[in-house]
Every structure is written in C-alpha cells, then in structure tokens.
C-alpha cells in the first residue's frame, strides 16, 4: 500500500464528508493505493455515525477507530500509527484547514528525496494573530533552540512519515507536538519541511486553547530531559547533587576555620550556628544528598526496566 492517511478528530461531523471526498479525489488522480484511518477521539456529536456511512461507501478504503473517552490527539495518533499499513503515513486534521492536495508532494519527498519525516509549515496563517500566531511563533522559536530542529511549525498537523518512523516511536501524553523530536531521538535524522496551504476553518470551533502553549513548554522540557538523561539519570542528579554538597561542605569548613582562627587570635566571633551562611550550607548539603539519592534510585529503576536496552537497529548482517 502506498499511503495511509490518519485523521484524528473530535466533534468534526460536519467536515468529514467534504474532507473524505477531497482526499479520494486527490488519491484517485494520482492513482495511489491508499487507506484513510479516522480516529474518533470520544466525540459527542455524530462523527462516528458519519464515519460508518463513509465506511459503507468505501469499505476497502475507510477504517475507523473510536475511543469511549476523549483521550487527546497523542492517543489518537498512537492508535492510528499502529493500524497504518502504507509505505508513507500522512497525518492531517479533520477541520479542513489542512489541504489533501499537499499529500502527493509530501509522498514524493519521502519516497524520492529520502526524508524520514516531512513536516508542514503553514507560512501564511488565517488564525487570530494575538491568540494563536504570536504565541505559536514564540513556542516554535523555543522548540527550535531546544531540539536543534530547524522547523518553523513543529506542531503542524500535516506531516508525512516513512512507515519505519511511526512503527518505532511512541507518542504519549501530549507529545504529538514533538513527533519530529521523538523521531530524531530514535535515530531518524532526515527531517524536512514543506510550505503548505492553510485554510480557514469552515465548520465548528477550535479544540485547543491557550493552555496548550503552557503545556507545550512543560512537555518540551520533559522530552529534553528524557533525551539527555533518560537512560543515565545519575549524570544529571548526581552531578548537581555532588556540586551542591561540596559547596555546602566547603562553606561549613570555611566557617569552622574562621571560628578556630578567631579563638586562637582572641578575636570575638559569633557562633557558627548563628551565621546565616551556616544554615544555607547545611541546606545545600542536604539537598545535595537528596539529589544524589534521586539519581541513584533512577539508576536502579533504569537497571530493572524492560526498555533499558531498547535500541533501534538500522541494518544487520
């Protein structure tokens, strides 16, 4: 099979018939062998009923997955990736803001130019400039700095993947925003970008609020930490803990030496325990011990994890 198109959705019943008709027109024009996987993320409208109707019209093409609860886009993509069988997997949103006309070129970039992943870039957007465009630019600038990926729109829903990519990464929580970074950490480094058309929403309302930017930064920090220290937590906690303990120890030692010198010289000096530096130093030593133990416990957990030697082998003779 050439292409698997995964469409995660939540309350998008009105747009699904038009979207499917558009996808079919493009796929048939280019004679692609394809499938369309609709993942209904606990919709409360008639989205699943519409999917069943589309399935009845094209049973060899349409596949549906329905959640009993709204689990989020990451869960929908995870299940869609598991079900996909195409050589190239394309994801797009169900709100008609992503254009299926972009799919053939995305497919060509993966199959002919050798990209592992191609991310869409909505260079010209029709969203609200204050509530979406500006926060999105700040978010993407931070993501580029942290991940090292020079993508202008990392969270764009329109992406194309080589099949091996989606079968070897795990999308969880709200990590769908950082799939290119997950792919990079898994060893798929040929990541490209394509300017794609962005269209105004025709039906319904956006399902994402401003809280996604706050959550996005927290998720980015989580991924950065896991990629750097996920398999070696002692390198992070142990280093910081050791430095904190050593600094605290030498501060206490300095106070003690000063006190001894004062006693030997007959100079009046305050009690060590009355010095604020003494309490700061003790706190630093305690925190250092706690951080060191956190790294040690992390190493014990990693040692007993079933994924401690989960490495992606590219070729083998």
Alpha carbon distance 67, 48 (integer Å): 10
pLDDT over 90, % of the chain:
52
- 151 phi-psi bin (left φ>0, alpha ψ -120 to 50, beta other): beta
Regarding pTM above 0.75, the answer is no
CATH architecture assigned to 3-229: Alpha-Beta Complex (3.90)
- 308 phi-psi bin (left φ>0, alpha ψ -120 to 50, beta other): alpha
| Burial of 38 (C-beta count, 10 Å sphere; 0-12/13-18/19+) | buried
Name, in order, each residue with C-beta under 8 angstroms of 298's C-beta and a sequence gap of 6 or more. Answer: 233, 234, 237
CA distances in angstroms from 230 to 239, 290, 302, listed in the order given: 15, 19, 9
Tell me which residue of 55, 41, 53 sits closest to 12, measured CA to CA: 41
Mean pLDDT per 10-residue section of the chain, whose length is 317 residues: 95 94 96 96 94 95 93 92 96 92 96 96 68 71 85 90 94 86 91 88 60 68 75 84 94 88 80 86 94 86 62 48
Alpha carbon distance 172, 163 (integer Å): 18
- What pLDDT does residue 300 have? 81
- What pLDDT does residue 315 have? 46
* Placement of tokens 């501060």 in the chain: 251
- What pLDDT does residue 147 have? 86
- What pLDDT does residue 275 have? 86
Per-residue pLDDT reduced to its tens digit, 65-110: 999 889 989 999 999 999 999 999 999 999 898 999 999 999 999 9
- What pLDDT does residue 132 have? 60
Name, in order, each residue with C-beta under 8 angstroms of 88's C-beta and a sequence gap of 6 or more. Answer: 2, 3, 4, 106, 107, 110, 111, 160, 161, 162, 163
Name, in order, each residue with C-beta under 8 angstroms of 22's C-beta and a sequence gap of 6 or more. Answer: 96, 100, 101
Alpha carbon distance 166, 10 (integer Å): 22
- What pLDDT does residue 272 have? 81
Domains of the chain, residue spans: 3-229, 233-303
Which letter does DSSP use for residue 168 in this model? S
Enter the tokens of residue 16.
């699904």
Check if the beta carbon of residue 143 is closer than 8 Å to that of residue 154. Answer: yes
């Amino acid at each position: 099979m050439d292409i698997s198109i995964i469409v995660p959705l939540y309350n998008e019943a009105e747009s699904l018939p038009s979207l499917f008709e558009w996808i079919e027109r493009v796929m048939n024009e280019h004679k692609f062998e394809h499938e369309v996987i609709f993942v209904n993320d606990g919709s409360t409208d008639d989205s699943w009923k519409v999917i069943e109707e589309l399935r009845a019209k094209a049973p060899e093409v349409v596949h549906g997955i329905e959640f009993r609860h709204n689990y989020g886009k990451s869960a929908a993509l995870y299940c869609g990736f598991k079900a996909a069988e195409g050589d190239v997997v394309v994801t797009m949103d169900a709100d008609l803001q992503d254009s299926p006309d972009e799919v053939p070129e995305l497919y060509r970039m993966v199959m002919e130019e050798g990209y592992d992943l191609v991310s869409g870039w909505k260079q010209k957007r029709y969203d609200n400039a204050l509530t979406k465009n500006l926060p999105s630019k700040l978010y993407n600038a931070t993501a580029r700095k942290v991940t090292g990926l020079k993508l202008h729109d990392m969270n764009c829903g329109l992406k194309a993947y080589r099949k091996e990519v989606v079968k070897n990464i795990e999308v969880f929580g709200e990590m769908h925003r950082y799939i290119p970074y997950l792919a990079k950490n898994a060893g798929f480094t040929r990541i490209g970008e394509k300017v794609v058309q962005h269209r105004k929403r025709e039906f319904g309302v956006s399902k994402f609020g401003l809280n996604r930017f706050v959550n996005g930064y927290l998720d980015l920090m989580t991924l950065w930490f896991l990629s750097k220290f996920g398999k070696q937590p002692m390198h992070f906690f142990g280093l910081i803990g050791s430095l904190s303990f050593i600094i605290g120890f030498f501060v206490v030692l300095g106070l003690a030496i000063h006190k001894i010198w004062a006693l030997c010289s007959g100079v009046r000096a305050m009690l060590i325990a009355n010095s604020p530096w003494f309490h700061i130093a003790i706190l630093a030593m305690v925190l250092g011990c706690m951080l060191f133990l956190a790294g040690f416990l992390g190493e014990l957990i990693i040692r007993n994890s079933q994924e401690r030697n989960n490495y992606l082998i590219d070729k083998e003779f």
